Amino acid sequence: MKTVDYPPEQISSSARETILLGEEFGKSLAAGNVVALSGGLGAGKTCFTKGIAAALGITEEVTSPTYTIVCEYEGFIPLRHIDAYRLSGEEDFCLMGGEELVSGNCVVVVEWPEKIAGLLPENTIFVDIEICGEKKTLRRIRKTGCEHTGL
Ligand SMILES: Nc1ncnc2c1ncn2[C@@H]1O[C@H](COP(=O)(O)OP(=O)(O)O)[C@@H](O)[C@H]1O
Ligand SMILES: [Mg+2]
């Protein structure tokens, strides 16, 4: 599997910048990578995913799959975008074929990964987005908790 080389922490000061950082990060991804994208409501997880999609050659607009849970896009590498927010937990995800959904020949991005933590593969790449700054316009984007992948 390709090594992901991304600075451990970056600050974004706009939605546009978060998309660009997502795109930069997305360029280092390969089919089979699973990205667990954590952060509170409005942190910018979907923004960051839009950037990842751009890096994968996806031209279709990426929108939040909050209600559909899963959305798939065709690109140089396909993207499977999962939003686990509305799932009650891992059992719920398993019932909809979750174990297969977090594997496959595509890049998988999971928002609210804590909901399905036990089902994420061992080599999952963790990225956390935190709202910061006095006016709440800054975002701290960090790659976290992936020592076991050697990244
Ligand atoms: N630096 C920033 N990065 C990302 N989004 C930002 C930033 N500053 C403000 N925003 C706003 O925060 C919201 C992020 O929305 P979204 O990406 O859907 O969040 P999430 O998927 O984490 O719930 C958008 O309305 C966006 O315009
Ligand atoms: Mg979202």
Q: Which of 47, 64, 81, 139 to mutate to test the pocket of ligand 1 (most atoms within 8 A of CB)?
A: 47
Give the pLDDT band (50/70/90) at residue 66: confident
Domains for the chain: give ranges and CATH numbers. Answer: 10-133 (3.40.50.300)
Distance CA 97, CA 124 (A): 18
Identify the residue with better confidence: 106 or 151. Answer: 106
H helices then E strands: how many in the chain? 4, 7
- Cα 87 to ligand 2 centre (Å): 14
Nearest CA to ligand 1 atom 3: 15
Residue 6: per-residue pLDDT: 67
Residue 7: per-residue pLDDT: 74
- Cα 1 to ligand 1 centre (Å): 30
Residue 1: per-residue pLDDT: 54
CA angle, corner 66, sides to 62 and 71, nearest 5? 45
- Give mean pLDDT, residues 93-110: 96
Q: What is the pTM of this model?
A: 0.93
Residue 146: per-residue pLDDT: 52
- Cα 45 to ligand 2 centre (Å): 5
> Residue 135: nearest ligand to its CA?
1
